[in-house]
Chains A and B, each alone.
Chain A
Amino acid sequence: MRTNPHRLESGGRIDRSRPLSFVFDGRRYNGFAGDTLASALLANGVRIIGRSFKLHRPRGLMGAWSEEPNAIVQLGSGATAVPNLKATQVEITEGLQARSVNCWPSARRDAFAFLKLFGPLMPAGFYYKTFMWPSWHWFEPTIRRAAGLGISPRVPDPDRYEERHEHCDVLVVGGGPGGIAAALAASRAGARVVLVDDRPVLGGSLQWEEKSIDGQPALEWVAAAEQELRASSSARVLKRTTAFGCYDHNLVALSERIGSEPAAAVRERLWHVRAARVVVASGAIERPMVFANNDVPGIMLASAAMSYAAQYAVRPGRRAVFVVSTDSAYEAAESLRIRGIEIAAIVDTRKDPGEIALSAQRAGIPILAGYVPVRARGTLAVKSIEVGLSPANGTAGGSARHLECDLVCVSGGWTPTVHLYSQARGQMRYDRERGAFIPAAGTKGFQCAGAAAGNLSLHQCLTDGFAAGREAAKAAGATSDAGLAPIAKAERSAVTAFWASPRDGHRKAWVDFQNDVTRGDLELAVRENLRSVEHIKRYTTTGMAVDQGKTSNMNALGILSELLQTSIPEIGTTTFRPPYDPVTLGTLAARHVGGLYHPLRHTPLDRQHAAARAVFEDFGGWWRPAWYASHGRNREECIRVEKRAARSAVSLFDGSPLGKIEVRGPDAALFLNRMYYNTMRTLAAGRIRYGIMLSEHGVIIDDGVCIRLADDHFLVSTTSGGASRIFGAFEDWLQCEWPDLRVLVTNVTSAWGNIAVAGPKARELLSRLDTDIDLDPHAFPHLSVRRGRLESVPVRIARVGFTGELSFELSLPAGYSASLWQLLLERGSPMGVMPIGIEALQELRTEKGYLHVGTDTDGRTLPADIGLGEVLARKTDDFVGRRSLDRADAKRSDRLQFVGLEAHERATVLPVGAHLVADPKTRRGSHGYVTSSCMSEALGRSVALGLVQGGRSRLGESVQIYSDGRLFPARIVSPQWYDPKGERLNA
């Protein structure tokens, strides 16, 4: 265990009474409650926390919160590992395990550090140019393995994630002074307010700046404000919560970090907040400066150095040089000075920094005005910085000064954090004075406030935030008086944007630290004639991925402006994308995992199936028996037994999930005639007709039987997974295209249970039940329907089936179906009745040659492809999809057509998905593929169905079917294997 050699003796907002130990890169350290991983590592003297993405250069801390581009770490291991977190945002807990990424074995001693020697060979876009021959795909696996940062766990995440919807009048993003003022104003005005901040404590920069608000210490004001908001029944304060995305109609997505302790009930929560108004008070990010070797560990943002010293009581260095172009950095220098850190000099790029520099000078800090950074020296840590007169003030690099130091604090300006505002399509304008893009005008329901709107002084933040909160509340309908805005001392906060020093020979100067993009990469892009900032972004990767350009975008624009000789406003900005900060996949998935990922419907016979040891699977969104384990020793045997029962005795099949749509009204027949490919208007009452439905493209989308119960009353049967889709299509056509038709449609799928009784003894079984329906084949032929009572319950019996056997489908109110199922099993026991699952049914229909839409058809299959072309010639009425069937492509003779396939070896079951190879020698080219396949006991051989090019004109042709390195000789045949005359069906 190491002590904290760089911890200040006193101060900070850490809890020194709660020491915590943690492990980083295999070594144990300690810190205190309130520390981030970054502050604790810094306190322990660990300065190298990561390696750069491409060249594996050592990288230290640049920032202190979400702006940090370098210190990417991986937490935990195994299932609970979390990759790609910023050490600056990780709160340490007892036993925390963290390690650096993109390096081995550790960040300090990285075996891949030699890659920096190849830097000249790896400019922007090098992989686009270098790995072209023989093929990019030849290199891709290796490059993919070498690229990336953290490593995703390979096993399911055991942690729990929640989600929650919220509605409010005003959502305030950012808990700094501007955000708190906005939330107070909105709440006092009577609005329902949600205030979110991604830090563990409110206050933002007030946590490390020593300011006063309303005459009291700023943090006391923050505490009182938080108390006031929490006491209000109409306000909610969410800390540790990142607003990461803005979507349509003011929907803002939040990620709340609840608990990282193993015992935490919920780890993270996803919030969907719908706000009438959104105030973005997300602050501003200090900019680094671009100069040679500006990525050496020990070079960090001035505000970050102040945060480490004041908030975490950590000494970020012993002797610091400040290189600045802002007034705010002087405050940081003073903050470090009073905490015992020697300030070697403040190097100000401005020729005349004004009174603030004189004030620092009076405090004993040397000032170098009009100087710019030339290069930093050091490899694993900064040792000195060379500065020279600015080109504007003399010869670049002239009057060079070497300043020994172990800390360089940079401050090149401030960039308002407008990511969410930009995602909401808010417009921005370039403010030359501030050297930043700031919001031009509020987009609908969205406005920026405080530093996010370009107001850098505390006083401005408070007044602007308060006004924004008050206006937002008013716009949302709140009418109470918000009172007066909090006030702070007015102060100067001048900025002169500084992007980059003049080029220092061939030394690299980093623009985007996270993506390893240098000034040279931008120069290369411009030399290669890329002009659009969007193109340059993609070519160089600056501003992309996790970082989203937090510290790099403006510097890149400044350099591009110089290179392209174009003003920054003319170059414009790139588009910010969600998420603002990385979000775990667990949060995005929330509770939609495991059994809740895709809710499945249970049939009314669920308990009966479970009692019969059904093996359930998801079929079309229903939890259905695939087969029954009680029927044999293994899956194959069980399915075989079930099929045998259906062919030789009687079987029961739970058809409840089949879609059932009632279509009623005087124009019902006309409507269905338009919806079906087949003619339905001539269907007689009490009769049933098989039909298919097409999309407007003529493609088969569903099939089933259409039952005419009365002249103005039809029952449409759809596939189980197609019920909602077909019902929606019916409504769509009726409401949008044919509102004149007098038709009403009702989806009654769940209202009715359905049991299919099939097999040669089906009639015998039904005759053992009490019913008023005449089951005689003459009175009740195949493809007809009868209504009556069965065991005193209303029932509809349809003579249809999917097995090729004598079949009766019994439909009755769903609540009775379990009882009827039990009765059928009891009465049918002497004749060998048996429930069958989906697998047996699929094999029964395969050997009968019945196609299954979606299995034996694909997204291109037209009616003629399955042998129903002649229906089109006979039907004169229009129907959905008709026009598409006249396309030349629909009439091609080499289309994929539905056929049967027989392996030459009778016992060989052709693999589903296997292709008929056009050239068996090279095994290249496809003439179609196998769609269904099984071993048929009834036929004494294997059979398969498939889609084959010009298949019906190739009956009898021998083909080779290829799968997994094997060729299967087979023959194209008609699929009508079982009972081709339909005698069993019509029995």
Chain B
Amino acid sequence: MLEHRTPLDSIRERQAQHGPTIERRDFHVAPAHEKGLLLLQSASVNSLQEALGQVLDLTLPAAQQVNVLGNYALLWLAPAEWLLELPRDETDPVESALTQRLGPSLTVITDFSDALVSFEVSGSGAPETLMTGCSLDMRSHAFPARRVVRTALAGVPAILWNPGNPDRFRCLLDRGFAEHFLTWLEGTTPVLG
């Protein structure tokens, strides 16, 4: 049986051995709890909406919004494109159940669990720190709870969303950029005053 590993495993092991990567009172970054990810693309939004309702009781979020229900979060990514975050062990069953209900409609479900890694960035200094590498205004008046964007962070493509707390963000990045992201955060110097 093959072992499953992500870049976050290495980071966790390193942090367990050497302590947190970044020592700041107002800012914390840690690998997020690993979840399954399903990319949903559909040319038939009604069918997808119906299937999601039947399988997970979820509705499709509006543009730049996240709908959260229990362990599930549905992120709007683009017109006709969403990302479903769910418990990892439910990825296959949910994909099968959705596929079954979608029937012949032009909808594609892709397991993205291994494509992206997720970091949790939090603390009162989190918006300021993220704004050193992201051109968006990450402060609560401009980036409220349950907002999601696809943008560039630290020079690489990223999905940023706010799960509900103004000073807490989830950053989803290509797994190949996990170490780059941490290196970049380590070197960030916050604006003082």
A793 touches B176 (CB 8 A): no
Q: Taking the complex as formed, is B16 at the interface, i.e. its CB lies under 8 A from any CB of chain A?
A: no
Q: Which of chain B's residues have a CB closer than 8 A to the CB of A816?
A: 2-4
Q: Closest residue of chain B to A815, judged by CB? A: B4
CA distance A607 to B3 in the complex (A): 14
Residue A358 CB within 8 A of the other chain: no
Distance of B86 from chain A, by nearest CB (Å): 16
Any B CB within 8 A of the CB of A710: no
Known A-B contacts A165-B135, A591-B184, A813-B114; A269 and B191 likewise in contact (beta carbons under 8 Å):
yes
Nearest B-chain residue to A743, judged by Cβ: B106
Minimum C-beta distance from B85 to chain A (A): 15
- A164's contact among B1, B6, B191, by CB below 8 Å, is which? B191
Q: Which of the 9-residue segments A182-190, A592-600, A672-680 touches chain B? A: A592-600
Which of the residues B7, B176, B187 comes within 8 Å of A622, measured between beta carbons?
B176
**B134 within 8 Å of A (CB atoms):** yes
In Å, the complex CA distance between A749 and B180 comes to 18
For A, the interface residue count at a CB cutoff of 8 angstroms equals 50
CB distance from B39 to the nearest CB of A (A): 7
Partner of B39, one of A606, A622, A746: A746
Q: Is the CB of B189 within 8 A of A599?
A: no
Known: A602-B7, A823-B2. A751 touches B111 (CB 8 A): yes
Contact A595 B113 (CB under 8 A): no
B69 interface residue (CB < 8 Å to A): no
Q: Is the CB of A744 within 8 A of B114?
A: no
B97 proximal to A (CB < 8 A): no
State the Cβ distance, A458 to closest chain B Cβ, in Å. Answer: 29
Give the shortest distance, in Å, between B59 (CB) and chain A (any CB).
Answer: 21
B41 and A744 form a contact (CB under 8 A) = yes
Which of the listed residues B113, B115, B131, B156 has the most CB atoms from chain A within 10 Å of its own CB? Answer: B115
> Which B residues are CB-close (under 8 A) to A167?
137, 142
Chain B interface size band reads 35 or more
Contact of B108 among A265, A744, A752 (CB under 8 A): A744
Instruction: Assess the A603–B6 pair: CB atoms within 8 A.
Output: no
Interface status of A272 (Cβ within 8 A of chain B): yes
* Closest-CB distance, B12 to chain A (whole angstroms): 14
Known contacts A165-B136, A601-B174, A596 near B191 by CB under 8 Å: no
Q: Is the CB of B115 within 8 A of A166?
A: no
Cβ of B62 to closest chain A Cβ, rounded Å? 21
Task: Type the 1/0 row for A781-809, where 1 means its CB is closer than 8 Å to any CB of B.
Answer: 00000000001110000000000000000
Task: Verify if A641 is at the interface (C-beta below 8 Å from B).
Answer: no
Are A595 and B183 touching (Cβ within 8 A)?
Answer: yes
Interface hit among A328-336, A384-392, A658-666: A658-666
Q: Which residue of A lies closest to B174 (CB)?
A: A750
A819 to B1, CA, bound (A): 9
- Tell which of A162, A272, A602, A813 touches B135, judged by Cβ atoms closer than 8 Å: A272
Q: How far is the CB of B174 from chain A (nearest CB, A)?
A: 5
Closest residue of chain B to A667, judged by CB? B106
Among B111, B115, B132, B156, the residue within 8 A (CB) of A165 is B132
Q: Of A266, A600, A664, which one neighbours B189 at CB under 8 angstroms?
A: A266
Cβ A744 vs Cβ B106 within 8 A:
yes
Q: Which residues of B contact A266 (CB under 8 A)?
A: 189
CA distance A849 to B138 in the complex (A): 53
Q: Which residues from chain B contact A752 at a C-beta distance below 8 Å? A: 114
Q: List B72-112 residues whose CB lies under 8 Å from chain A.
A: 106-108, 110-112
Contacting residues, chain A, for B132 (C-beta < 8 A): 162-165, 591
The answer to whether A751 and B115 have CB atoms under 8 Å apart is: yes
- Partner of B180 from A599, A607, A814 at Cβ < 8 Å: A599
> What residue of chain B has the Cβ atom nearest to residue A622's Cβ?
B176
Instruction: Check A599 against B155 for contact (C-beta < 8 Å).
Output: yes
Pick the contact of B43: A162, A744, A748 (CB < 8 A): A744
Q: How many A-B residue pairs have CB under 8 A?
A: 128
Residues of A within 8 A of B108 (CB): 662, 664-665, 744, 746
Question: Does A160 interact with chain B (Cβ within 8 Å)?
Answer: yes
Residues on the B chain within 8 Å of A903, using CB: none
With a CB–CB cut-off of 8 A, which chain A residues contact B43?
665, 742, 744
Interface string of B2-38 (1 = CB under 8 A from A): 1111110010000000000000000000000000000
Minimum CB distance partner of B111 in chain A = A751
Check A591/B187 contact, CB under 8 A, given A272-B135, A602-B179, A792-B2: yes
Q: Which residue of chain A lies nearest to B137 when distances are taken between CB atoms in the complex?
A: A167
Neighbour of A815 across the interface among B114, B135, B154, CB < 8 A: B114
Most buried by B among A162, A748, A814: A814
Chain B residues near A812 (CB-CB < 8 A) = 2
A509 close to B (CB within 8 Å): no
In the complex, A266→B187 CA distance in Å?
11
A599/B115 contact (C-beta < 8 A), A167-B142, A814-B175, A816-B4 known: no
Please indicate the chain B residues that have their CB under 8 angstroms from the CB of A265 in the complex. Answer: 189
Nearest residue, chain A, Cβ from B155: A599
Q: Is the CB of B1 within 8 A of A791?
A: yes
Asked if residues B189 and A750 are in contact (CB atoms below 8 Å), the reply is: no
Assess whether A604 is interfacial by the CB under 8 Å rule: yes
Residues on the A chain within 8 Å of B174, using CB: 601, 750
Q: In the assembly, what is the distance between CA of A791 and CA of B174, in Å?
A: 26
Residue of A162, A165, A272, A815 near B6 (CB, 8 A) is: A815
Contacts of A606 in B (CB 8 A): 7
A820 within 8 Å of B (CB atoms): yes
Q: How far, in angstroms, from A261 to B4 measured CA to CA in the complex?
A: 49
List 24 interface pairs A-B (beta carbons < 8 Å), by A numbering: A164-B131, A165-B131, A165-B134, A266-B189, A595-B183, A596-B154, A596-B180, A599-B155, A599-B156, A600-B180, A601-B174, A601-B176, A602-B177, A665-B106, A744-B42, A748-B115, A749-B115, A751-B114, A791-B1, A813-B4, A815-B4, A815-B114, A816-B4, A819-B5
Q: What 8 pairs across the A-B complex have the smallest Cβ distances?
A: A601-B176, A751-B115, A167-B137, A819-B2, A814-B114, A750-B115, A819-B3, A815-B4
- Residues of B whose CB lies within 8 Å of any CB of A are 1-7, 10, 39, 41-43, 106-108, 110-116, 131-137, 142, 154-156, 174-180, 183-184, 187-189, 191
Q: List 9 additional A-B contacts (Cβ < 8 Å) besides A165-B131, A274-B135, A602-B7.
A: A165-B136, A591-B188, A664-B108, A744-B108, A746-B41, A748-B115, A751-B115, A791-B1, A792-B2
